[in-house]
Every structure is written in C-alpha cells, then in structure tokens.
C-alpha cells in the first residue's frame, strides 16, 4: 500500500486552472541515432524520442503521475489513441501524465519495406530513461515519489512489465545525473499486454520485431516477464479480453504475481479484441475497465477517495 499523504493544494508545478504541457527530448542524442537520422521518411522518435509531460491544474492535482507507453507491436507507436487520449482520461482523475513516443527496432517505410535500425531494446532504454526524468523532476512538478507508476498497452505493456521486473537502482556516483534515480515504478497498469517472448505461446511477429528472427533463447527468457517476478515487483492492474491473443500473457503474469505474493488484480472481459485503449465506443470493456482502475488506484492510495478529499479539505 502506498502511504504518503496527498499534497496540500495548490501543488508546485501545477498551473492554477489549466493544464501545463512540457515536451522533453528523452536524450540529447539517442544512442545509435547518428546511423538512422538520414533514413528518408523515418519518424522523428527514432532519432529524438519524446516525453510529453502534462500536469493537471492545481485544483485537480493528486500528487500521482503515470508514464504512459503506447503499443504498436514494436513496429509502431500508437501515441494518439493509446497515449494522448489516455492522458486525457488520467488528467481528469487528477493524475499527471508522461506520454512516451519511443524508438523501435524496425522501421517500416512507405513501401512496406522492413529495416532493422537498432539491435538493442531501444524502447525499453527510452522508457527507463523517461522514468528517471520523471523522478528527477518529481518535486518540481508536485509529484509524490511513491506514486509514480507506469501504464502500457500491448507492446507498451511489455515494456512496462519489463522495467518493473528488471528495475535498475539509482547510482549516487553516476556520471550522468539521471543515473542517480531508480527506474522501478511504484505500480503498473497493463492493458492487453504482451508478456512472454519465449515459446510456447510467444507471438513470433512482435518477438521478431524486438529480438530478430534468429533470436537468442536467453534473451527471449529474459524478456518473458512472468519468469522474473520477485517480491520487489510493483503491484499490478491487468485488463484484457477473452477473445484477444494476449489473454495467455495476462493470465501468466497474474499467476506469477500471485505465486510471488505480489498484489495483482486481473480483469478479463468476454469480448473486445485488441487495441481498444480506454475510449473505444460501444465496448463493454471500455465502459467498465476505467472505472475498475479508479477503484484499484483509490484502494492502493494512489489517488484520493471522496472521504480522504473531505478530510484534506
């Protein structure tokens, strides 16, 4: 349970009566970007990944913040529906947001030609650094240091889960000032996440996008998040649908969390498929899962309940 009290309002870093948006380049120069920057048509985030921070107005601030990682199968970055539309939902709940537009390993050009432009897990590198950026600015933005979570959709869910099961501690002696900050989220929200990269059920398409067709089995094991849950893994909220190909992933992560005695809540809706975000109309899952998330966040003390609001006021 997260126990820090909500900050008194107004909160430093939150504009009174309006949201505040801050666009941050995740890297001064992303590692390896010199080799890709001149490829015709390559999206900007392959060279300069961006973290868009949006702070709620002072009267809505709860002191919580979520790093949102859109999906896209490690081929695209669906930053509109699974990024900025999600941000609107979270901001309405008084939660500050950082939407990450990250690098991928594969570039798909206008002729549908696939080119591997990075070998390392660059999406994870961008997410980890973004978490450090958020933690480094937490006090300035009015964010409580134990209420910083991560929310990932599909492949973004895999990134979120990976940084949660393989966290990096801050190094007080790091040459890079950001290296002083830890990368572990305080909680994770996984929407129809990819979890496993190893057989028997790992999807070959997104695994190959990330690891390559001739992947190292040890890498596939490392990136099978359900195999690395420990007592230090942050609590999780997971949502998926029974007619989605990620249902086995969600079940595996839930079982691993329960086996490790790590708090986890899983909701499986009958129908909804994949990629619905939080706002797709006319679906039962999108009608109810944001409400269920609210209850979970309040139960964990991430955002205040009505009773706690009254006590604070």
pLDDT of residue 4: 29
CA-wise closest residue to 16 among 56, 69, 49, 75: 56
pLDDT at position 60 is 87
Tens of pLDDT along 103-162? 999 999 999 999 999 999 999 999 999 999 999 999 999 999 999 999 999 999 999 999
Regions of the chain where pLDDT drops below 50:
1-16, 310-311, 313
DSSP 210-254: HH-TT--HHHHHHT-GGGS--TTSPPEEEEEETTSTTHHHHHHHH
* Domain range 20-312, CATH class: alpha beta
Given this model, what pLDDT does residue 144 score?
97
For 280, the token pair is: 């797709």
The answer to whether the pTM exceeds 0.85 is: yes
The predicted pLDDT at position 307 comes to: 58
Residues 6+ apart with CB under 8 A from 27: 33, 48, 49, 126, 129
Q: In the chain, what are the domain boundaries?
A: 20-312
Confidence (pLDDT) at 205: 86
- DSSP count for the chain of H helices, then E strands: 8, 10
């Amino acid at each position: 349970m997260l126990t820090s009290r909500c900050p008194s309002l107004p909160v430093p870093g939150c504009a009174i009566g309006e949201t505040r948006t801050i666009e941050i380049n995740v890297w001064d120069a992303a590692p390896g970007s010199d080799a890709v920057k001149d490829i015709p048509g390559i999206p900007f985030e392959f060279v300069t990944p961006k973290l868009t921070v949006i702070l709620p107005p002072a009267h809505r601030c709860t002191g919580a913040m979520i790093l949102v990682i859109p999906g896209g199968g490690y081929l695209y970055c669906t930053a509109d529906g699974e990024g900025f539309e999600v941000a609107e939902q979270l901001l309405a709940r008084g939660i500050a947001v950082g939407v990450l537009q990250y690098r991928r390993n594969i570039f798909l050009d206008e002729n549908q030609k696939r080119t591997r432009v990075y070998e390392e897990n660059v999406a994870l590198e961008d997410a980890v650094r973004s978490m450090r950026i958020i933690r480094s600015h937490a006090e300035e933005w009015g964010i409580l240091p134990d209420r910083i979570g991560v929310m990932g959709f599909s492949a973004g869910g895999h990134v979120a889960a990976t940084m949660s099961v393989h966290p990096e501690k801050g190094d007080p002696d790091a040459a890079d000032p950001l290296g002083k900050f830890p990368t572990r989220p305080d909680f994770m929200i996984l929407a129809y996440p990819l979890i496993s990269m190893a057989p028997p059920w790992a999807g070959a398409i997104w695994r190959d996008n990330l690891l390559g067709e001739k992947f190292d089995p040890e890498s596939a094991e490392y990136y099978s998040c359900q195999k690395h849950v420990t007592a230090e893994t942050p609590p999780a909220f997971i949502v998926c649908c029974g007619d989605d190909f990620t249902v086995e992933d969600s079940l595996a992560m839930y079982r691993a969390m329960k086996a490790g005695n790590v708090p986890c809540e899983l909701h499986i809706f009958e129908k909804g498929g994949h990629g619905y975000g939080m706002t797709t109309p006319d679906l039962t899952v999108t009608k109810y899962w944001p409400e269920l998330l609210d209850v979970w966040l309040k139960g964990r003390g991430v955002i205040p309940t009505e009773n706690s609001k009254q006590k604070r006021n």
